[in-house]
Amino acid sequence: MNEKSPVVQLTDVSVGFPGVMALDGVNFRLFPGEVHSLMGENGAGKSTLIKALTGVHPVDSGCIELDGRRVAFHNTAAAQDAGISTVYQEINLLPNMSVTENVMLGREPRHRFGGIDWRSARRRTAELLATLRLDIDPASMLADHSPAVQQLIAIARAVSVRAKVLILDEPTSSLDSDEVTELFRIIVSLKATGVAILFVSHFIDQVYEISDRLTVLRDGRVVGEYLTHELLRIDLVQKMVGKEISMLDGIRDRTESNGIEDDLDAEEPFITAIGLGRDGGIQPIDLTIYEGEIVGIAGLLGSGRTELARLITGVDRPDTGQLLVAGKKENFRGPRNALKRRIAYASENRRGEGIMGDLTVRDNITLALQADLGWLRRLPRQRQDELARSYIQAMNIKPPDPDALMRTLSGGNQQKVLLARWLAIAPRLLVLDEPTRGIDIGAKAEIQNLVTNLAENGLAVVFISAELEEVVRISNRIAILRDRRKVGDLANHDLTVDRLLAIIAESDDDAAG
């Protein structure tokens, strides 16, 4: 690989914004026929590097070269015309149009007299999909396909312009393991044709599986460029955060040693679900949740984790069973009723159901409290300022500016603001659905430590994560779901990921035994 000339080279590139240097003298190179992972915590400069390369942000100094020629793209269309295509985590396609229309949009073949030649367009799309070994009907509507298939179609569109460089920004965040395998198959096939692939992901296992080389950014600077197989994972993590990581191990020690289960039998559960279920969502389930306890929900994609969370918090209404809150039967008509009983739900869909990007950090923190008070009883500005300042300081939110727009914060800091929003209403139960998805390991450790502190101070927590290691690390007790029903409920004494996987995978007969 070293004998080749880089297809992309950044030399001493800097990009600044008011009050922050997002990229500071960055050198970076990307070779044809390789997968190069860009690693770093949220706010390290990964997104800015991509946007500088693709013409979204102009560079303040330094130069960008493509195939040895200096370039300065003024927009993403110019970058794409030059052979640099990007596929983002949020799929940027049109669901109300066909696969062909999405793949060929803006590049449709024309008849001699100017109309679109749809027959040729469908044929070209079919040929492109075939080269990627994707069995997808070009005439089908995009909305009829799963998010995973839509992601693959977005990649097909990106490479249809004869891309020299393909940038994949968190492409696996919403995919299950089989879908990740299919995506990686396509990446390998594109790599074999000489396409240079820039891969951005927070999943370290996937980075080591698919990438040939990686570059680590921290605080807008390059820490180093490494051949992936030559860098130990623990060394990678330490280079990303700039210090040794013992934080996560400490969380596990605390959850194992707090001895909360010794006191539970003498207490009344805060939440008791009896045969709680919903048609098409989750089969009837029994579950208890005590104050001061972290209950992990473990299961594969589609096991019913989110469906259970939505029933407990009033987002969805059950078809069967009942829910008791502090021993009293409840029939929530919506999440606002649940909030009245101090039950808060942080959805896995942060972007669609959580952050208000064009509002300030202050507004986002006080939003739930204001809704609880009612819009006719305005929260005084002085109280808003006090709440915002206290949570910004307590949760180490960066930048520490209550007037910063929410959309300008990194993913980890956005998640901290959302947690602050729910803590501001003094909840008794906090249901967290994928609270650390898509954030770096440093922010993940901070959030897990915060959740553990909250439980130690009496808050009941339901913690849902697709990362079984995370569930084992943070939970006092773990409810295990499979095929939308509960198949286990175990105190977290020396539980391992292998044991959880065995329970998830075992047959019904094995489970009964």
pLDDT tens digits, one per residue of 373-404? 777 788 889 989 998 988 888 878 888 899 99
Closest CA to 448 of 461, 308, 343: 461
- 3 Cβ contact partners less than 8 Å away, ≥ 6 residues apart: none
Considering the entire predicted model, what is its pTM? 0.57
Q: What is the pLDDT of residue 351?
A: 65
Distances, alpha carbon 108 to alpha carbons 121, 125, 277, 314, 443, in Å: 6, 10, 48, 47, 44
**pLDDT for the residue 340:** 86
The C-alpha angle 92, 94, 97, rounded to 5 degrees, equals 155
**Which amino acid makes up residue 501?**
L
Q: Phi first, then psi: what are they for 468, rounded to 5°?
A: -65, -30
Instruction: Report the chain's terminal Cα–Cα distance, integer Å.
Output: 54
The CATH classification of domain 8-241, taken from the options 3.40.50.300, 1.20.120.420, 2.115.10.20, 3.30.1050.10: 3.40.50.300
Q: How far apart are CA 97 and CA 351, in angstroms?
A: 23
Q: Say which range, 347-351, 368-372, 431-435, 507-511, has the weakest mean pLDDT.
A: 507-511
pLDDT of residue 435: 84
Could you tell me the pLDDT band of residue 148, with boundaries at 50, 70 and 90? confident
Q: Mean of the per-residue pLDDT values for the chain? A: 84
Nearest-5° Cα angle at 56, 55 to 62: 55
Radius of gyration, CA atoms only, the chain: 25
Mapped onto helix, strand or coil, the DSSP state of residue 127 is helix
Q: Compare 466 and 366 and report the one with higher pLDDT.
A: 366
Kindly tell me the number of DSSP H helices and DSSP E strands found in the chain: 20, 20
Give pLDDT, residue 114. 75
Beta sheet of 8-17, edge-to-edge order? 20-30, 8-17, 61-66, 69-71
Cα–chain center distance at 162? 29
Per-residue tokens: 395: 């949760």
Q: How far apart are CA 348 and CA 304, in angstroms?
A: 13
State yes or no: pLDDT of 353 exceeds 70. no
Both tokens of residue 53? Answer: 């390369």
* pLDDT reported for residue 507: 43
Looking at residue 85, its amino acid is S
Q: What is the pLDDT of residue 1?
A: 45
Give the tens place of pLDDT for each residue, 428-473.
Answer: 999 998 888 767 777 788 888 888 988 998 999 999 987 788 899 8
CB 268 within 8 A of CB 327: yes
- Cα torsion angle, 150, 152, 155, 161, sign: negative
Specify the 3-state DSSP secondary structure of 479. Answer: strand
User: What count of other Cβ atoms lies within 10 Å of the Cβ of residue 24?
Assistant: 18
Please give the CATH superfamily to which domain 246-332+427-513 belongs: P-loop containing nucleotide triphosphate hydrolases (3.40.50.300)
- Single out the residue of 283, 411, 398 nearest to residue 348, CA to CA: 411
Q: What is the pLDDT of residues 224-272, one digit of tens each?
A: 999 999 998 778 877 886 654 455 666 666 666 555 555 555 578 999 9
3-state secondary structure 150-176: HHHHHHHHHHCCCCCEEEEECCCCCCC
In this prediction, residue 243 carries a pLDDT of 53
Q: Lowest-pLDDT range, 126-140, 147-161, 287-301?
A: 147-161
What residues does CATH 3.40.50.300 cover in the chain? 8-241, 246-332+427-513
